[in-house]
Amino acid sequence: MIADSKTYLAEFSRLARVDWPENRLLNVVCHGHSVPSGYFQTPEIRTFEAYPHLLHRALGRRFPHASINAIVTAIGGETSAQGAARFARDVLPHRPDVITLDYALNDRGDGLACARRAWLDMIRQAQAARIPVILLTPTPDQASSLDDPADPLLQHAAQVRGLAEECGTGLVDSLAWFRRRVAAGVPLPELMSSRNHPNRRGHALVAAALLRWFP
């Protein structure tokens, strides 16, 4: 069962409301590929318009007495198999209080089976360390068909949803958020900076969805 967004990060929110001098640093680690890295028009990177930074700012407004870091361990062009290989080295040493995983856009090249193994590896490492994890379905690729269940992007999104259900993690269904906005009449290009990278408006959708997990 997917975690309950009202309670899954309740401990984070409790700690974020502890005032100085009893408070402590809270770390949100965003692991993934070029989207959380902040790539817009490759090779241009706009760190401060990408969802990890937008989430960081939103958490600062929600918890104005909290000391919070948003740490990006994402690498452009990487797949989940590569991310899993360096998870213990590059993610866990930051002592995360929350980890987000966002790899499905690039995982199409490796296929569903390889991606599933890698995501499960990272989820299990985090859960063994008692760190809450939020899985993200992919943001769009304008070359994909958002209405075709056979499209690899939709297949990987479905697999991410299934992993959240299977492992009891949090889930931000980024692809569903974009599809709802398109269905409401917003042309997809208005949410994108390139074929497969969101613009600030698109990143803001993801950040808003993530913020819902922090009560």
pLDDT per residue rounded down to tens, the chain (215 residues): 999 999 999 999 999 999 999 999 999 999 999 999 999 999 999 999 999 999 999 999 999 999 999 999 999 999 999 999 999 999 999 999 999 999 999 999 999 999 999 999 999 999 999 999 999 999 999 999 988 999 999 999 999 999 999 999 999 999 999 999 999 999 999 999 999 999 999 999 999 999 999 99
Residue 94 DSSP one-character state: G
Domains and CATH numbers, the chain: 20-211 (3.40.50.1110)
Burial class (CB in 10 A: 0-12, 13-18, 19+), 183: exposed
Residue 64, SS3 per DSSP: coil
For 42, half-sphere exposure in the C-beta direction (CA atoms, 13 angstrom radius) is 10
Confidence (pLDDT) at 110: 97
Instruction: Give me the half-sphere count of Cα atoms (radius 13 Å) on the Cβ side of residue 98.
Output: 29
In one-letter notation, the amino acid at residue 161 is: R
Q: Is the full-model pTM beyond 0.85? A: yes
DSSP class of residue 96 equals -
Which burial class, exposed, middle or buried, applies to 101 when counting CB atoms under 10 A from its CB (0-12, 13-18, 19+)?
buried
